Structures are given as C-alpha cells and as structure tokens.
Structure 1
Amino acid sequence: MHSTSDSASVYPAHWEADVVLRDGGTARIRPIAPDDAERLVSFYEQVSDESKYYRFFAPYPRLSDRDVHRFTHHDYVDRVGLAATVGGEFIATVRYDRIDERGRPAKEPGADQAEVAFLVQDAHQGRGVASALLEHIAAVARERGIRRFAAEVLPANTKMIKVFTDAGYTQQRTFEDGVVRLEFDLEPTEQSMAVMRGREQRAEARSVQRLLAPGSVAVVGTGRAPGGVGRSVLRNLRDCGFTGRVYAVNHAFPEGGTRLDPEGVPGHRSVAEIPEPVDLAVLAVPAAQVPGVVRDCGEHGVRGLVILSSGYAESGPEGRERQRALLRQARSYGMRLIGPNAFGLINTAPEVRLNASLAPQMPGAGRTGLFTQSGAIGIALLSGLHRRGPGDGSIAGISTFLSAGNRADLSGNDLLQYWYDDPATDVAILYLESIGDPRKFMRLARRTSAVKPVVVAKGARHTGTAPLGHTVPTVRIPDSTVSALMRQAGVIRVDTVTEMADAGLLLASQPLPGGPRVAILGNSEALALLTYDACLTEGLRPLRPHVLDPAATPADFCTALSAALANGLCDAVVVTAIPWVGEEGVASPGEGADLAAALREATASAVPAKPVTVVHLAMDALADALAAPPPAAERAVRSLAQAVRYAKWRRDSADPGRVPEYEDIEETAAGEDIDRLLDELARHADITRSVPLPADDAHALLARYGIRV
C-alpha cells in the first residue's frame, strides 16, 4: 500500500492490477503516489532522448523537481497517474488531466474530458504495455466521470498513434500546427471490447506457451543422491527426451559446479550461477526456502515457476498468507506461477518433449489437452489415457497437461486461452474444484467450445466452501446454476474421471455426429439390445439393430458397417462385438485386432464421415479401433450422446438468429408513462416498499409494448 500526503486524496488500491503482456510476461499496474519520486526519476533516466522528445515535443533530458512533484502528486479524480512496474520499478507511465472545452485545466465541476499522455521505456516498447495502460486508465476515467480522452501526438510517433487507433474506440483525428490531435469516446464499443479480449487472449496464451515450451529448465532442490521429488523430476525430464537444456540446483553442491549421475546433468549451487538464461524453474524445496529461490530466479530473468512445494494455503491461515506473498513476489519479477502444491506440466510435442512433472511415465502424443487442480486426478487421467490407446496421435494420448495445485496464479482460464487456437489440441478437458471468476470462465469456455469441445468435471459441487489451498476468490453460486451456465456455453459437463476420459477419447478421435439417429450392428443380439436401451435412455434415436450371425467374420463387420455409414437415415454407428465362432471354435480375444482393421477400413472411405464407437466383451484388442472403446454399452452411448448434444449446440450457436423488430413498440412513450407514474406514486404513496400498479395503468403500459391484456 502506498501513502499520499494529501489526506483528501486517498490512494485507490482497487486500481491495482496484474496484467499479462504481449510476450507472455507480467507487469503490475498501480496508481503513482508521492513516495514514487525516486522510481520516477530512475525510470526517466532510462528513457531515450527520442522517446522523451515524443512525450514533451522538445528536448527534455531530465525532470525538474517541480515535474517530479507534479507527476507523483494526484487527487485521483481530476489528475491521475498510473505506472506499469516489473520488480517494483517503473517500465511505463500514463496520466490524465481533466480539461475544459478549450483544452485548459478544468476549474469547474462537470467537465467530462481529459488529456492523456504515455511514456514507455524503450526496452519495453513493443510488449503491449501502452495498450494495457490505456485499458486501465480508460476504466479509471469512466469511474471518475470522464467520457472522452484527447491526446496530442507527433506524426513521427507512429507506435503511439497505432496504440490509440487499434484500441477500437470511436475517435476523431485532426492535424494542426504539426501535431496529430486524437479525440475518442471512452464508452466501450463492440470493437473496443473485441480488441481488449483479443489482447487478453494473445497475451495469456503466450504466457502459457512460454511455460510449455521452455528452452531450458532448472530443477531447484535436487538431492545429491538419487531419490526425492527433485531428482524424480530430473529423471522424468531425462527419460522423456526433453529437447532443451536441464540444470540441477542445490545449495549443498560443491563450489564451481558438479555433474549429477546417472542423469548427466550439470549442477549448480544457485540459479544465479547457471551460465545462461533459464526459461522455467521447478522448485522442490521446503516452503521456508522458496522466497530466496524465487528472488534468485527473478533476478536471473527466469520466465516461469513451477512450485511443487507444499505448506501453503492448504495448511491453514499462515499458509494462505505465505501463498499470497509468494504470488506477489513472483509477479513483481514478471514471472508466471504454477502452484504451489503443483504436480507439474507436460508437453508431448516432438519438438519439445517436456515432462516437468511427477508423472513417472510420459504419456503418448495425442490431440487432447488436460488441466487439473488435483495431482491425484491428473495421475488418474494420464494413466487412463495412456493405458487405453496406443498414443499415436489418433486415438489416445495428450497434447499438453498442467496440474496447477493451489492455482495461486495460473488457472483453467489461462489454459482455455492457450487451447483456443492451439493447432495441436482438438479437445480440452478440465477438472476444476472451484471457479474463481465464473463470468470470465463461461465467456472463455463458450468461445473455445465454438471451435473445439470443452469437457469439464467440477469437484466440490455439494460443499459450501472452497477446497483447501484455493485462495483465489470464488463466487458462491448453486451447482444447478453452474450446470445451466455450462450448457449455455456449450461445455460438456461430466461427473466422473471415467466420463472425462470416455468423452475426451471419443471427441478427439471421431467426427461430430450430424444428429441423434444411431445405427447399431453387431454379432450379439443381447449386446445390441442393451445398446438400444442405452440410446433411448440418453435421448438418442436408435434404428432397429442389425444383428449379424455369431460366426460373422471381420469382413462381414466391414460390409455391415459400410452399409450403415452409407445410410442417410443414421448420424452415428455403434458396433457391438463378442468373440465370433468360427470353424475352429471361439475366436481368441487377441483376434480383435483383425476386427479393428476391418472397422478402420470401412470408416476410411465413408462420405460424409460419421462417428463410430465400439462396445465389446472380452475383445481388448479393439482398444486400437477408431475410438478407444469403453467395454460397457452405457458408457459408450453416454459419450456419444454428449457428442450429439455438443454438435447441436455448435450448429445452433453458429446461426444465433436475429433480434426481432416490432413496429408496435412505443419505447419512448412507455418511458414517459413510467416517469409520470413514479411521480404520481411519490406524491401519494410510500414507495420505499413495493406498491401495486393500478390495473388500468398496468394495461396501458403493457400496450405500449404491444402486449394486450
């Protein structure tokens, strides 16, 4: 908290905010206060003469004492200054001064225009700092009753002109006396909102991408002997074939460095001793040692942290405060934070191959992204996806995985921003124990669902408190409301980890169904009937099952599936199979591989493509067919039904329709009637409570809107 010498000018702490910049780094935006004088002078000394000229329209090598006082003392109403900071130091400033219609300092109340000016250190230009500051100073101005900004910019200052032009506000531009004058309304427009959300998406996605694709990783807290959390992460990085450089850090290592065996990784006493920049640091040290390590990482320019350490919010009030301090410290250096109490992150892309987690086995590469707030759920999902498919990118496996633990910083929202336009991810799966910002989550989920499926399981649905360790503020809303919001956003909500895996596998490997009509075929009448009943239970429209002979061969299945796919009356197919009976008796379970090949052959030539899922008994080799199939009919059909409902939402949301226009609505007259009625009621009744409207007046008011009673 910063103080101000003017007791009437209370420091507006609610204007403080952390922002993610265009390159994925972070900065803190806050009001400038009187005790920032030294920071302001130091900041100005690092600005080039050219940038100073652009700001003041004349050579201005240094700030006078009067300038420093003026730029650090504000009333936070008519005069406001904000700074973007990294490591506690200024990297950019913005200020506004309220002006009258003639452009002079406003002396009378009611002026709703202000002049705005920016200054960004040259080393930080191009990072989107000015755009972020403009968004925040505009919000502050609206709060203080300012409706319009004016700015004067030299024509050569094209970067600043572009910041204003790209902001999306309605603006006017004039040129006079060699200066470009820009004026723009601060009322948010559809374009300005799109610009802000686009900047937000690109910045947050970039910050996640920097964590998932580091060029170098330092594991802090690696023991000198094999074993322990740090050495486990180090081993996992080695075994997965990580394409970057890896360093081990332990203050007990000998001076001058060492080399750890069997990993063959160089070891250093601190991050500061590593002879190159480090992109990602994984911390596996006691909580008491974390602040010192974070300081070393910040001063060394580390971009992101994974905190595996426990002893934070999950441990009680002292731990919660420790977690808040950790987040403040990380953000002060512009670092993003995963954790604390995290499980780690994985990227299976062949050019990265990162396993900076406690998962002992690297999952296969696939098209599904996973985010969990629980390490245990993460282990279960990784194990299930790895076990139920070959991981060749067509059936099982993942693209990226992140388990955020206490999610002090990075959350599911950040992953939705990243997955939205990630070409390696076709399906997003999230396990959430709490939703810190439901409005933003639903907005991001809806946008992502418009281009790829989003599958969510939410824990703690029947409790009234946030899970242990979750200090991010959460909004208490009924679980039924959460479900309704998710349906409106196109999110596929499931109840269990098994359902998450089932839905994710089907959606990642199969096309979306065009409707609810389902063809059923197979060599078991009983299994076909179970599938038929399951379809009815899930609201699908099953066709009469096509039951093959128990001795049907893979070729027979291929022919039947080809016919079903060609049938214009079906939108999806469920194949049911049991080991078939041939001349030599019952086929062995392993011969399901032949059936898998036959089913793939039938679907390869199908036009249009339709989803095909498989229900089987005692034919485990069918896990290699199409979608890695759950053995139970109920599970397979439930996943298919979820895909049907999602596909319908996609079709409906692609054509949202239009707002109808009615010729018999008299909105202006209705407003006048309401004002008149309120005036009359105020004269004759106590309107501090609900007062019934006379029937004649109610009917007349409804008639203004075309509603006849």
Structure 2
Amino acid sequence: MENYPAEWEADVVLRDGGTAHLRPIVPADAEALSKMHEAQSPESVYLRFFAPLPRLPKRDLDRFVTVDYRDRVAMVMLVGSDIIGVGRFDKISATSAEVAFNIADAHQGRGIGSILLEHLAAAARDLGIRKFTAEVLPQNRPMLQVFQAAGYEVSRGFDDGVVAVNFDIDPTARSIEVQASREHRAEALSVRTVLHPTSVVVIGASRKRKSTGHLLIRNITSAKFTGDLWVVHPEADQIAGVQAYPSLGDLPGKADLAVIAVPAESATEVVQECAAHGVKAVLVISSGFAETGEAGAELQRQMVSTARAYGMRVVGPNSFGLVNESEEISLNASLAPFLPASGTLGLFSQSGALGTALLAAAKKRGLGISTFVSAGNRADLSGNDVLQYWEEDPATKTVGLYLESIGNPRKFARIARRVSRVKPVVVIKSDLTGRELPPGHIVRTSSLAPNTLDQVLGQAGVIRADTIHQLFDLAQVFSTQSLPAGRRLGVIGNSAAMATLVAQRARAEGLHVEAEPVSLHPEVEAETFQAELEAMYSREDVDSVVVTFTPSAGAQESEIAAHLAEVAARSKKTTVACFLGIQGVQDELTTHLNEGEGSRVSHTVPSYVGPEDAVWSLARATDYARWRGADHGRFLEVEDLDDKGVRSIIESALSKAQPGRPHQLERDQARTLLSCYGIEVLPHITAASVDEALSAAEEIGYPVALKAVSSTLRHRMELGGVRLNIDSPEELREDFQAIQETISTLLVDEDPRVDVQAMAPPGVPCVIRAGEDRLLGPLLSFSLAGDTTELLGDVEHRVAPLTDKDAEDMIRSVKSSPRLFGYRGLPPVNIAPLKDVLERLSVLVERHPQILELEIHPMVATVTGGHLLSVRIDLLTDSTRIDSTRRLLS
C-alpha cells in the first residue's frame, strides 16, 4: 500500500504478559473493526462516540479505516485476526493533533491504551507533532487515567460536559520512567508464564526411546513435575508412561506450556494449533530454522510472528530446554538427563552445547540453580526478558548468562544496571559486537572496538567472565558469601609459597594486603590453625580472607575445613579457600549455625582449584560490592536545553539531505545547535586570503591560531595544518602562506581556506564524540587528543544518558587521565566543564537520534575552565534506534 509506514509495526507485551501485534490501520480492517464495535457494550460505545451507536455506518467505517498516515493516523492492536484496540490522531495544526482510543471490552485492563498512546506519540513526533489533545467524558475514568499515568504534563479543562485534555508528547523523565516500569512488569510476567506452568504438553514425541521427545518426557517425569503432563500423538496410547492424546483438542484441560519437537516445516502449523487451544507459551526444541540458512530463517519468522500474534511467547527454536527447580514447579523440560540441586543461581544460555556444560559445571561444583533457560536461536524470548524476571525473583540471588550475541544491547545495559543494584549479573564473554555470529543469530553490527561493550556493561555493573570456569568461580562467591566490606585482605595458610602467590596476585587485582600474611608450618596442628584463624578474623583491618591448606603429616584437611567453615560463618567476613581436592561448594567446608527462633542456616566456604582463581573471584566480588555501594550520581537537570531550536536546525538541514546518506551540518549550524544546549564554541572567522586573515585577527585580537579548513589537515599540527600562538601580523602572514603551501602540495583539490580563531589558554586538549551507534544506540566517547591516544585505543565509551558520576568516571578511566590531574608537576585542570559538556551531549543525543556523530575536537581543559575550538555534526535522515520511546519486542 502506498505510503504505508511498515516501520510502525511492532509486536508488544501486554500488562498480563500476553503478546499482541500492533500496526497502522488499513482499509481491509473494516470488517474486523466493525466486529469489535458491535461486541462493545452500549456504555463503551457512548464513552467513545458520545452517542448510542450500535453499528458503525458504512461512511464512518470507511473514514475510520482510510487514513493518509500523515494528517490522519490510526493504529490497531490485534490478537490473531481480531482487533482488540484502536488508537488514532487527527492533525488540527502543524504541531498538534486530537487523539482518541477504543479498547475492546473483553481486553480492558491489559494496558492496551497505554501502549497505543506510546506508539501514536512516537509516530506523531516523527511527523512533527508535539502536542496531543483529547475530549473525554468525565465518567470515562480509565481513559483519563491513561493520559495522567503516562508521565506527561497533562492539563485539563471542563467545558459543556466534556473534559478537554492537553499535553506535550516530548518524552519526559517521568514518561520514560513509567514506560520502563510497565515494560519491566509485562516482560517479567510473560517469562513467569513460561517458567511457572501448571500444565505441560509435549508435541512431537515418538515411541522410540532415543528420540528427543521421548527424552523430554522422561526428564519431565524424573524431575517430578508438580503439574499436569500430557502428550499429543496421533496413534499411541502412552509414551514413556505418560497418557497420550490424538490432538490438543482431546486434552483434559488447557496446557500452559507446549514443548515442541516436530520438524521445522511443521512448527508454524503446530503453533497455530496451540493458539487455537489456549496454550500460553511454546518451547521449541526442534532445529532446522535460521541456523540452516534463509529458508530456515523464513520458517522461524513465520512461527514466531504467528505465536506473538496469538499472545504466546516462544523459547527457541533450537533450544536445549528450560528448568525451574522450585519445589512448587520442579520442571525439567530440557535435554539434560541430570540437574544440579535447587539453589539460587539463575542461568541463561544461547548455546545448547554450552547449556549442557553450564548444568554439568554447576552440578560438579555443588552449586544449586533456581532456573535455567536455553534460548537457542533467540527468535523471541531473550536474555533481556529473563533478566526482567530475575530482577524480582526471590529464588534467584545471582544471575549468570552466556551470550553469543545481544539483539538490543542498550536495553540489556539499561535492565542490567537496574538488576545489578540488587543482585550480581555475570556475563560469559563472547563476541558481542555482531561481527562473529553463530548460525541463526540475526543482529545488527557495531563498527566500534570490541572493548566498547565491555565499558558499556561495566557502566551497568555487569561482571565479565572469559570462560564457564570463571562464571562458576564467581558464582561460588556470590552464592555462599556476603559481599566484601572493603579491599583489605587477610591471607592465612600452611605454605609460605602459597601465601606469597596469593598476596602477589591480590595486589595485582587491586586488593590491599595490609595485614602480614600468616604462613604456618606445613605440619601445623589443628588447634594452632584454629587459633590463628580466630585471630585473623578478629582483625579490624581485614575485610575478607583467603585461606589455603596443603595436606601434610600434621592436621587433617577435614579438621581444618570444619574449623574454617565455623569461624568464617560466625565472623560473616567474605572468605574463599584453596583446599587441594575440594572444589566448589561442598559439604566438607559447610557448617550449620543457629540463627534465632530455632532455625539452622548452612554456611559454606567455596574452595578453588588454585589460589589465582580464588583471588580473581574475590577481587571481582570486591569490585562489584564497591560498584553496588557507590553513589551512581544524578541525571542532568537544567532548564536551558532548547530542544525546539535543535529540532528546527535538524529538520531544516535534513529537508535538503539525500535520503539514506549522512548529512553534515554547516559549521555555523553546528555551533548554533550546540548553543541551544548551552555549549559555546570559540568563534572563528574563515579567510581565503592573507588580507582577510589579517582583518580577522585584528577583529578577534592577538594571539590567534590558524587552522586549515580541510578535514584532512585540520587537527594535524605535524603536517603543518595548524599554527598556534601567532602574536603579530608578520607572523600571521608567514604562517598563513605556509599552511596554504602545504594544502597546495599535499591536497590539491581540497578547500584552501584557513580559519582564524582566538587562542585558548594553555591546557590539555581532549576529544569528545557523541552520536548514534547502530547496535548500542546513543553513545559517548572521551579521550585525550593526539595520535598516541588514538593509536593505543585509549578511549572510554558510555551509553546515554549519563549521570554526573558516569561523566566523571569516563574522564578518570582513560589511561592518559593523569595528564589532567597534575602529571609531572603540571597544574591540575578543572574537569567540571568537561563533565558538563559530556552530560549535556548525552541528553542531546538521547533526545535526537538523527545525530549520527558529533565531534568536539579539541576541547581544551584548563586550570580555570574549558574551551571548545571545533565541532562537526553529521545527521541521519532516518532514526535507526532499536531501544526507542515505544515498547516493542525486538
């Protein structure tokens, strides 16, 4: 259809965890819209149309479904082929529109109005509309509540029996907070539907014992699933001892979760059948989808779009399965024939093979899990969704994820930052830039260096691990110990060599060994070791302890382990151990203490294969404790941000741009745009001749700087493109001619003009970049100017928006930052202006995704302030942001 905005289509999660499809209305929707209207109660019809209207007249119906997607816009929400909600706006001026909604009675209370408002507002902003108005009857409290609860600044008026509502639709801090909160509740509930089924049906199982379906049934029954378990098979009476039924329609009840193990080409048909019989979620074990090529990818798209359209979430395809160890559920719908014990570790894996390895490693180390999800091709349910669930899951204390790719890294960082404030999140390192993808993973790519995402996840408090081994090393600490109170470490053992290794590694990892390590005799007696343990744990200058023990002719390992477990439990200081022959969370290092009201609680000291592993894990736990306990700062709150001015400049520039290609702002436009955000660039005058340059210098005042306009030479002093501290006309004449000679020699076809600019005071030149990365969204970077910094990659990145602490952390984290703080006797510079510019730019690129790249090169930081000497801004004709101001499944 001509002008149909396909980019407005979206799959969404509703308040109750179900899914629906949202898209612009089309004329073919007339029948479905009429059907929805006729099913409405007389009261609902009156509240929408202010009059009784049992049927929509054909003229009105045609008008409702025929829109131009510019001045008249309408969107429908569908489950299957049924419309369950419609929202629309009609332009009443260049920047305002009247908005209206109609929600099906049978679907009231599912948050449909709120989602439609988000998507209509986003579409309206794309069209230059900045304000919505609505006329609502006073008794239509649900609709008034939709407007009020959205987080916008709403004004009301009452006239002639109607409430007139007006509000600006530019996102506010409150509206963004409301959107994130609703997204969290809906997505967490949708995952709970998957992980807490009361009934499960297996589809595609055969009577062959070695078949995938047969194994799944055996694993579910072996785990003693507490709900109902059924099997669909067209011929068998039972499979693996479980009653079988010919079809879903023959089941004795509705299934919450369908486990599908049919060939890929049959999956969509099976999903449609599940939808017709009220199944809430599907787990697709089958392979043969996107991992096999484009034909399989198309099968995957069909299956997922069908499931979402009918309100179901999909785990997989090509999934290893899922597990919930809760006593109330006890579900092992996976291909793992064995499981770890019940515990507090939540595990997520995108790889089936590594899913097996994760469960095996947890079992071997004695670590219990709460839940496990294998996403396979991650066609629908993702790590972002499961994080939303784990954030408030009381059974999960530590989160571990193996991620081969991230479809929406900015959303992941946003959610992870929130989760990390209440429980540790550990990610096994893989390529997350999108350049090295396993088969079946479809994500965008980033042009940034691989360490960029490390920095972004560090900003969110996420702990990176290189291997499964490291993941479980960390899980041992987090699952058994309280967080370290500080960096001061005590070391005790019966080997001087081991104590030295521990102390050296601890200092290398940033821990402080202030107490002298205690090295006991290799054949120390148990009583002596216990006394030294008591002394170590009583020290006030020790926050955490590493204990090593090597078996000898003296005390028995079991004696020392028992003493250590009890002393460590009573002290509550973070403890890790290195006992040869004991790895993980084992009974040998476990004790049970009475903790009031007759309850006995077990405490375990985790043991590691080697001292390096023990210290590394303790150091990462200490880093995390420090991050979690830190003040993470506040977002910028100022009144001098002129977004209307910025939009005007961007829209004017893009009206002349070529679609699909970056468009560079004129330099004066770039300076004006920054001034809209309270950021001023030192003025310059461009000269085409010596005489013009002399006149400009007289106007600006000596001393001045000369810079080639050519982008190739503009910042290249070593190539002769920049001359500084010019004090006189004679010097200016000589330097101007030298620059032009360089241009004519090296760059025959480039702009020969030269900028004359006032000299900034002496200081440290810095480079600040901000803009839109295809994968990460709005991103900022900071570095010190110079080839050395760029060649060595000494650049820090953070996602927007930044808090004041984020901005300061960026500045202090570059390896060359000592130059800002008094390096080799230089006076420390004032970093407050750098922080201010970073914070303002973070808001700018967050609110204006058309800014592809903004580069300030350089900003000179001085003892008293900061001076911006040059800015370049490139724009995008279309926003490509994944994590936007409208909720959608991605």
Common fold, TM-score beyond 0.5?
yes
Match of 1:140 among 104, 115, 123: 123
Name 2:209's counterpart in structure 1.
226
Greater CA drift, 545-554 or 498-507: 545-554
Distance in 1 (CA, whole Å) between partners of 2:679 and 2:358 is 60
Name 1:393's counterpart in structure 2.
none
Name 1:75's counterpart in structure 2.
68
2:549 is equivalent to residue 577 of structure 1? yes
Name 1:310's counterpart in structure 2.
287
Superposition deviation, residue 46 in structure 1: 2.1
Name 2:138's counterpart in structure 1.
155
Q: How does 1:606-685 map to 2 (within 5 A)?
A: 606=571, 609-619=572-582, 623-624=586-587, 625=589, 626-654=604-632
Name 2:219's counterpart in structure 1.
236
Q: Deviations over 1:199-224 (max 9, x none)?
A: 01111111101100001000111113
Name 2:53's counterpart in structure 1.
60
Match of 2:14 among 10, 14, 21: 21
CA contact 1:579–1:618 (8 Å) conserved in 2: no
Look up the SS of the partner of 1:695 in the other structure.
strand
Superposition deviation, residue 45 in structure 1: 2.0
TM-score, normalised by the number of residues in structure 2 = 0.71
Q: 1:461 to 1:703 in 2, by over 3 A?
A: closer
Q: Deviations over 1:46-80 (max 9, x none)?
A: 22222111111221111111111111111111110
Superposition deviation, residue 656 in structure 1: 5.8
Structure 1: runs of 5 or more not aligned: 101-110, 390-395
CA contact 1:427–1:452 (8 Å) conserved in 2: yes
Superposition deviation, residue 693 in structure 1: 3.9
Superposition deviation, residue 620 in structure 1: 6.0
Q: How does 1:557-596 map to 2 (within 5 A)?
A: 557-582=529-554, 587=556, 592=558, 594-596=559-561
Superposition deviation, residue 442 in structure 1: 1.2
Look up the SS of the partner of 2:629 in the other structure.
helix
- Cα RMSD, aligned residues only: 3.0
Distance in 1 (CA, whole Å) between partners of 2:283 and 2:50 is 46
Distance in 1 (CA, whole Å) between partners of 2:116 and 2:637 is 35
Q: Deviations over 1:643-678 (max 9, x none)?
A: 11111222224456988999xxx9979979869868
Name 1:548's counterpart in structure 2.
520
Name 2:278's counterpart in structure 1.
301
CA contact 2:530–2:564 (8 Å) conserved in 1: yes
Match of 1:377 among 332, 336, 354: 354
2:482 is equivalent to residue 517 of structure 1? no
Distance in 1 (CA, whole Å) between partners of 2:63 and 2:132 is 20
CA contact 2:686–2:755 (8 Å) conserved in 1: no
Q: How does 1:445-524 map to 2 (within 5 A)?
A: 445-460=416-431, 464-475=435-446, 477-524=448-495
Match of 2:308 among 313, 325, 331: 331
Q: Deviations over 1:70-125 (max 9, x none)?
A: 1111111111000111113211000001114xxxxxxxxxx211111111111111
Q: Deviations over 1:322-373 (max 9, x none)?
A: 1112211111111111111000111111111111111111321111111010
CA contact 2:861–2:867 (8 Å) conserved in 1: yes
CA contact 1:596–1:621 (8 Å) conserved in 2: no
Look up the SS of the partner of 1:340 in the other structure.
coil
Greater CA drift, 611-620 or 449-458: 611-620
CA contact 2:318–2:377 (8 Å) conserved in 1: yes
Q: 1:471 to 1:269 in 2, by over 3 A?
A: farther
CA contact 2:347–2:373 (8 Å) conserved in 1: yes
Q: Deviations over 1:115-156 (max 9, x none)?
A: 111111111111111111111111111111111111122222
2:5 is equivalent to residue 12 of structure 1? yes
CA contact 2:687–2:754 (8 Å) conserved in 1: no
Superposition deviation, residue 549 in structure 1: 3.5
Name 2:793's counterpart in structure 1.
none
Name 1:260's counterpart in structure 2.
239
Q: How does 1:318-357 map to 2 (within 5 A)?
A: 318-357=295-334
Name 1:103's counterpart in structure 2.
none
Distance in 2 (CA, whole Å) between partners of 1:146 and 1:402 is 43
Superposition deviation, residue 27 in structure 1: 0.7
Q: 1:189 to 1:598 in 2, by over 3 A?
A: same
Q: Deviations over 1:563-587 (max 9, x none)?
A: 32221211210011122534xxx73
Superposition deviation, residue 552 in structure 1: 3.7
Greater CA drift, 620-629 or 475-484: 620-629
Q: 1:162 to 1:633 in 2, by over 3 A?
A: same
Superposition deviation, residue 178 in structure 1: 2.2
Q: Deviations over 1:421-448 (max 9, x none)?
A: 2111111111000111121111111111
Look up the SS of the partner of 2:67 in the other structure.
coil
CA contact 1:466–1:474 (8 Å) conserved in 2: no
CA contact 1:442–1:485 (8 Å) conserved in 2: yes
Q: 1:202 to 1:556 in 2, by over 3 A?
A: farther
2:261 is equivalent to residue 284 of structure 1? yes
Structure 2: runs of 5 or more not aligned: 590-603, 641-671, 694-707, 715-752, 763-858, 869-890
CA contact 2:121–2:169 (8 Å) conserved in 1: yes
CA contact 2:433–2:446 (8 Å) conserved in 1: no
CA contact 1:578–1:618 (8 Å) conserved in 2: no
Look up the SS of the partner of 1:360 in the other structure.
coil
Superposition deviation, residue 554 in structure 1: 4.6
Look up the SS of the partner of 1:694 in the other structure.
strand
User: Which residue type is aligned with residue 360 of structure 1?
Assistant: P
Distance in 2 (CA, whole Å) between partners of 1:54 and 1:660 is 40
CA contact 2:433–2:453 (8 Å) conserved in 1: no
User: Which residue type is aligned with residue 599 of structure 1?
Assistant: L
Match of 2:38 among 30, 36, 45: 45
2:179 is equivalent to residue 196 of structure 1? yes
Look up the SS of the partner of 2:758 in the other structure.
helix
Look up the SS of the partner of 2:542 in the other structure.
coil
User: Which residue type is aligned with residue 329 of structure 1?
Assistant: T
2:156 is equivalent to residue 173 of structure 1? yes
User: Which residue type is aligned with residue 20 of structure 2?
Assistant: A
Distance in 1 (CA, whole Å) between partners of 2:548 and 2:638 is 48
User: Which residue type is aligned with residue 422 of structure 2?
Assistant: V
Match of 2:756 among 673, 694, 697: 694
Superposition deviation, residue 562 in structure 1: 3.1
Name 1:269's counterpart in structure 2.
246
User: What is the aligned length?
Assistant: 666
Look up the SS of the partner of 1:381 in the other structure.
helix
Q: 1:661 to 1:116 in 2, by over 3 A?
A: closer
CA contact 1:595–1:622 (8 Å) conserved in 2: no
Q: 1:297 to 1:545 in 2, by over 3 A?
A: same
CA contact 2:685–2:756 (8 Å) conserved in 1: no
Superposition deviation, residue 450 in structure 1: 1.6
Q: Percent identity?
A: 45
User: Which residue type is aligned with residue 259 of structure 1?
Assistant: Q
Q: 1:688 to 1:399 in 2, by over 3 A?
A: same
CA contact 1:207–1:336 (8 Å) conserved in 2: yes
Look up the SS of the partner of 1:251 in the other structure.
coil
Q: Deviations over 1:488-513 (max 9, x none)?
A: 22111011110011111211211111
Distance in 2 (CA, whole Å) between partners of 1:524 and 1:238 is 50
